[in-house]
Structures are given as C-alpha cells and as structure tokens.
Structure 1
Amino acid sequence: MTASLAAKRALDLAVAVPLLLLTLPVQAVVASAVAADLGRPVLFAQARPGRDGIPFTMRKFRSMRDVDPSRGLVDDASRLTPFGRWLRASSLDELPTLWNVVRGEMSLVGPRPLLVQYLPLYSPAEARRHEVAPGLTGLAQVSGRNALTWQEKFALDVEYVDRRSLLLDLRILVATARAVLLRKGISADGEATMPVFAGTTAREP
C-alpha cells in the first residue's frame, strides 16, 4: 500500500469507526421507523461495483417499497414513501454504509458506487471512475448531486481520480456536511432520484 493510500485508509477509519459507534442509537431509531413504514427487512442490500469493478454488497436503510406491478409500484417515484423521501433527503439512509467503509470495500470519498449492470455501458474514460474505491460522498455529490446529468457526474468522478489527495478528501467531507444540511440536488428534474443510465452516446475510439 502506497503512503497516499495508507493515509486515505487511516482517514477513513479515523472518521468512520467513531461515526459508526456514535450513530448506533440513531440507527436503532431509524431501523424501527423503517420497520413501521416499510416492514422488514429494514436494510437494503445490493451488489455494487467496487475498485476495479469488483462487486461488493452495499447496505443502506430501505426507503422504497418492493416492486409490485399489481399495486402500481414499478418505478422509484411510486415506490418511494414520504418517510423514505425524508430519509434520503437527510442522508440517514446511508448510515449502515459506514460499515462498508470500515471493511475497506468503500472509502469516505470517491465516486459513488452505481449499479453492476452499468459496467458494460461506460465509455473507456467513464470506466476510470473504478480506478479508486467508491465513496460515501464524492466530488460529484458536492457539485450538484442528482441535479447533474450522468455525463457531468462521470466527468467529476474522473476529475477526482486525477486530482485525488488527502487535502481534496478533507475539502469534500466539509462540503458534504454543508450539502446535507442544505439538502440540495437530492433528485434530478422530474425524477424521484435519477433516470436510469442507458449508456453514453459518444464513445471514444
């Protein structure tokens, strides 16, 4: 492990471990609220691509009902409950993901882990976002979050890969705290979250 990676890992543990322990009472309350609103299980577990595209299981608090075409629950907008919307806006749904940071599957700062099925859809430039570990937050998240287009997000992800440093991570963490308080960019225009990524039209040769 290089010195820069060791310093980043030290920062991850120095922040994630105390935060995980301190938020356990909050997580217990949130888990009870999720169980009352959505039922069990209270955690949403899904495979996401990690560094080099290697999948890991990411866990968050559930904010959506299960897909049920008979009840019209087929997309994010119909499945997201009012409580779930608040949970996402407050970012409290992300608290269990701190465990992924402690385990080393994620970092505090890095490109957000998206869906495994997106992997073959990236252009070679966009795929560079997987050169680093995914993060709880990142340059794209403090630059507009879901209000950005996919292409804008990916450009910022690659910019982070090229500029990454401990100082940049610290700046992003401070900006994240501000963004969470302001609750900006939670969803794209006309979407409950973000539209499905269908691939980049212009491919690099």
Structure 2
Amino acid sequence: MGSRRVQLVIKRALDVVASLLLILLFSPLMLVIALAIWITMGRPILFRQPRIGYRGRVFTIYKFRTMTEERDESGNLLPDEQRLTPVGRFLRSLTLDELPELFNVLKGEMSLVGPRPLLVEYRDLYTPEQWRRHEMPPGMAGPVLASGRNLLDWEEKFRLDVWYVDHWSLWLDFKILLRTAWKVLKREGVSARGHATMPRFEGVGVKAHEGRRGG
C-alpha cells in the first residue's frame, strides 16, 4: 500500500508537469481549432459538462465543441449524427476535441491516464463492482481508449476500467499512453457501430446484476 501511495504522488507530479508542457506545446493548435469552431459554429467554443470524477466527486469537463445546438419543433436536441459538423467530425477522428481536458488534468480533476469520466446521470445505474472505476482519477487516455474505444460495449468498458484499478502502476500508464496514441493515429473506435458517437448507458450491467441475484 505504501508503494502504491508513493506511485500515486509521482503520478500526480507527472500529470502536472506533462499537462503544463502539453498546453504550451499545443497552444497554437488549440488557437487554430478555436478559430475554426468560431467560424463554422460560432460561440461557445468550449463544451462544458458535469462528469463524475475521483471517488464520485463531480467536476466540469472541458472539450472543444463539435456539435450544433439544433433542435426539433418540440425543443429537443436533434440526434448526434445530425448535429455533428464536418469540423467536429474531424476533431473527433483525431481526438483533438479533448485537448482542453489538459486543463482538467492541470487542476487535478483528471489524470493523463485513467478510466474515462462518464455522465453524472449514470451514477445510479452502476453495479457496486462497476462503481469501483472511480477508485482512480479519471483520465484523458485509458484502458478503454487503448483497447477499442467505442467499438466496445458498455460491459467490456466497465470490465477494463475495474481491471485497470486493480492492476494500476506507472508502467501500465506508460503502456496505455503508447497504445492510445497508436489507436488515435489509426482513428480506430471513434464511434460505435451505427452511431455517430456512443449509445447511452442504460444500466445494462445493473439489469444483468439483478438477474443473477434474483435467478
């Protein structure tokens, strides 16, 4: 346990140094992206959304906006595939829309590597085992991105996240970063089959859990 605690301190120190350097390195690119979004979609430039973080704490994630706010006659947002713009599709294909998350890392709300932070509304849909994904800080890269991203179903994603929590090490983080970079360059798993992004989590794991408990 002591060794793990020391490694977590090192992990945080590496996050601070790396995120600061990456912000400086990518600042010209982020300015270009912001300009492209402003020209094609207008303001706001950034997409902000509450997410569940480390130990269940809620924080606001920052991303570049990739979709319009178009709505139907009833005032409901149109499906993702209708709101996703060409610029947004390009940003998502190279994961450039997630560059502002470096500021979340710098603030200590995220890490460079960890389970991806999910929507707050999913909070009550987890099984106790799935909730364990929050025992590590959420990350920009992670076991899911390194293993298939949105080509994986929700059950597989949760299984990988919990496996990461149980087997975490600095060396594992390094390997995940390399694998994630390779997946991004190959543009693999950007969207789920038949979806512009990823279908919502409907608590499939919860239903399966209840079925096993009751059967």
Q: TM-score range by the shorter chain?
A: over 0.9
The DSSP-based 3-state class of the residue aligned with 2:143 is coil
Runs of 4+ in 1 over 2 A off after TM superposition: 70-73
1:60–1:97: 8 Å Cα contact kept in structure 2?
A: yes
Whole-angstrom CA distance in 1 between matches of 2:22 and 2:167:
26
Q: 1:12 aligns with which of 15, 26, 33?
A: 15
- Of residues 136, 139, 143, the one that matches 2:143 is 139
Correspondence for 2:209: 203
Is 1:60–1:94's contact at 8 Å kept on the other side of the alignment? yes
User: AA paired with 1:36?
Assistant: I
Aligned to 1:183: 187
Q: 2:32 aligns with which of 1, 4, 29?
A: 29
The structural deviation recorded for 1:80 is: 0.6
Q: Which string of whole-angstrom CA distances, capped at 9 and with x for unpartnered residues, describes residues 4-56 of structure 1?
A: 11111122123211001111110000000011111101000011011011100
Q: Which residue of 1 aligns with 2:178?
A: 174
Between 1:148-157 and 1:171-180, the stretch displaced more is 171-180
Taking structure 2 as the reference length, what is the TM-score of the superposition?
A: 0.92
Counterpart position of 1:50: 53
Q: Percent identity?
A: 53
Distance 2:132 2:76 in 1: 38
Question: How far has the Cα of 1:192 moved from its partner?
Answer: 0.4
**Residue correspondences, number:** 205
Pair 1:157-2:167 in alignment: no
TM-score (norm 1): 0.96
Q: Is 1:65 matched with 2:71? A: no
Secondary structure, aligned partner of 1:125: helix
Could you tell me which runs of 5 or more consecutive residues in structure 1 were left unpaired when the two chains were aligned. Answer: none
Unpaired segments ≥5 residues, structure 2 = none
Q: Secondary structure at the match of 2:171?
A: helix
| Partner amino acid, structure 1, of 2:58 | P
Bigger fraction of residues in helix: 2
- Looking at structure 2, the residues matched to 116 and 67 of structure 1 have their Cα atoms a distance apart, in angstroms, of 23
In our comparison, the structure showing a higher alpha carbon Rg is 2
